[in-house]
Amino acid sequence: MKRFFEDGMTMLFQGDSVTDTGRNRDIPEGPECLGEGYPKVFQQLYDALFPANKVRFVNRGVSGNRTNHLLDRYDEDFKAVKPDVISIMIGINNTWRNFDGGDDYCSAERFEAEYEELLAKIKTDMPDAKIMIIEQFALTAHPDRNTWQEDLDAKRDATRKLAFKYADWFVPMYDIITDASENDFDLYELSPDGVHPGATGHSLIAIEMLKAFDII
């Protein structure tokens, strides 16, 4: 176990509803702004391990977002935060919207182009910021998600390619949570709907982030 953050550093959590988890948008900083998911669990675990460490944790995840939305709010929700470390988990809505009757189809090529534009902007504008990419996932054994595999896999391939090019850390969450559902936990315990984690799923994400940072 080793300390990762220096005093005064800022970590930004970015993504969609899996990151948002009902965060209080009226409170820009502090525990109340982190929501009820893995950002809060990560902060609680880190502070429990290093209670004297003074780190600013900020959640700017927005429910329903796709890659284009992260680009739209880049100035206010990336640059303005001035993060030292950014974790990004995005992409499941780029798949989901292709199956729920929406008219804004997102191909794997479009997904990759938008995601790369975002990452390139971060590297240009915040060259000292470190990036963690957390792979998007769905538990496709769930009956509501079992038609998603081909679309999801193509976008996961793009995520991994971009992580290799731009990220300092990559968390292969699809494989991790799928393995957990097959060997350790009930599928519905990890995610009742196959997309949004339950408490166990959020804890698993936070623990894998701590592992990726070599904290535990």
pLDDT tens digit sequence for 150-168: 999 999 999 999 999 999 9
* Mean pLDDT taken over the chain: 95
The arithmetic mean of pLDDT across residues 33-61, rounded, is 95
Closest CA to 160 of 173, 149, 151: 173
CB neighbour list of residue 65: distance below 8 Å, 6 or more residues apart: 15, 16, 17, 90, 93
* pLDDT tens digits along 68-112: 999 999 999 999 999 999 999 999 999 999 998 777 899 999 999
Contact 139, 145 (CB under 8 A): yes
Contact 19, 206 (CB under 8 A): no
DSSP string, 75-115: HHHTGGG--SEEEEE--HHHHHTTTTT-S----HHHHHHHH
Helices (H) and strands (E) in the chain, counts: 10, 5
Of the pLDDT bands very low, low, confident and very high (cuts 50, 70, 90), residue 31 is confident
Give the model's pLDDT for residue 108. Answer: 98
At which residue do the structure tokens 């998600």 appear? Answer: 145
The model's pTM is 0.96
Half-sphere exposure (Cβ direction) of 108: Cα atoms closer than 13 Å: 15
Pairing of strands 130-134, 85-89: parallel
